[in-house]
């Protein structure tokens, strides 16, 4: 237990090791399971209160325990350990949405909390292997975020619209402006990875550097939101409308 909670560990993380592949499998299974509940959640939401509570507990335990670990390890800092990265903000939005069912927070959690944490599961920025707390915190947190976001969207599908995608993009742009122009320069932080890409190899590495990186990041986020919206509509509408062709589907997406 002492080694598991220690500041460092000799058991380093290896990408695509059996433990990493196992975590990716669990993440994918959770996404498939929650997506498969789309019809049942709408009609029988109260029957899945246990799942709502479990997701809420996972999110809260992940963030609270991480803050406790950073303090106990003596590494906590304003520049590195506040929950201001995109996944952390999506996590907080999901926590409040799971309690309140606030539509804006459901939309924010859905558009920001599915693809980024799943990419993080594939390309994790985690230093230690499964014998250390950081491994379990990272993967459990980054799995529970998309699970929670999909649960919220599946339970309240009417909240996920094309207009919502643009609304969340606007909210995220305002937040990024505050972080990028105010908080990061004042504290020397790199929240939202606005100054540079993560240490781990991620798709952000293909976006260039400097001003080009910022512009490409903004375009990539918009493309991600629109692509995610189209995929979501396709998944939720195809089973209900037999014979629905792709051209007809995309026309319906654009007018919804």
Residues 6+ apart with CB under 8 A from 75: 7, 81
What is the Cα–Cα distance from 109 to 166, expressed in whole angstroms?
Answer: 14
Sign of the C-alpha dihedral computed for residues 223, 174, 166 and 63 taken in this order: positive
Asked if residue 209 has pLDDT above 90, the reply is: no
pLDDT tens-place string over residues 120-134: 999 999 999 999 999
In this prediction, residue 66 has a pLDDT band, given cuts at 50, 70 and 90, of very high
Whether pTM exceeds 0.85: yes
Among 3-17, 71-85, 154-168, 229-243, the least confident range:
229-243
What would the pLDDT profile of 90-143 be if each residue is shown by its tens digit?
999 999 999 999 999 999 999 999 999 999 999 999 999 999 999 999 999 999
Q: What is the per-residue pLDDT for 201?
A: 80
pLDDT of residue 20: 98
């Amino acid at each position: 237990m002492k080694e598991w909670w220690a500041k460092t560990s000799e058991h380093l993380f290896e990408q695509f090791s059996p433990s990493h592949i196992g975590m990716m499998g669990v993440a994918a299974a959770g996404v498939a399971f929650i997506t498969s509940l789309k019809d049942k959640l709408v009609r029988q939401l109260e029957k899945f209160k246990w799942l709502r509570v479990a997701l809420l507990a996972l999110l809260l335990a992940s963030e609270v325990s991480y803050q406790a670990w950073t303090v106990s390890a003596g590494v906590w800092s304003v520049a590195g350990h506040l929950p201001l990265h995109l996944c952390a903000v999506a996590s907080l939005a999901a926590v409040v949405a799971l309690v309140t069912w606030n539509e804006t927070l459901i939309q924010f959690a859905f558009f920001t909390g599915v693809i980024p944490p799943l990419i993080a599961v594939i390309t994790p920025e985690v230093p230690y292997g499964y014998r250390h707390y950081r491994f379990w915190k990272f993967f459990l947190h980054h799995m529970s975020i998309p699970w929670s976001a999909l649960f919220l969207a599946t339970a309240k599908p009417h909240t996920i619209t094309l207009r919502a995608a643009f609304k969340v993009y606007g909210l995220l742009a305002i937040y990024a402006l505050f972080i990028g122009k105010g908080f990061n320069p004042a504290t020397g932080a790199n929240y939202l990875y606005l100054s540079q890409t993560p240490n781990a190899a991620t798709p952000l590495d293909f976006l260039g550097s400097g001003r080009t990186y910022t512009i490409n990041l903004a375009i990539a986020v918009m493309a991600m939101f629109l692509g995610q919206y189209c995929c979501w509509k396709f998944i939720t509408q195809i089973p209900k409308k037999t014979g629905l062709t792709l051209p007809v589907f995309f026309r319906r997406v654009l007018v919804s």
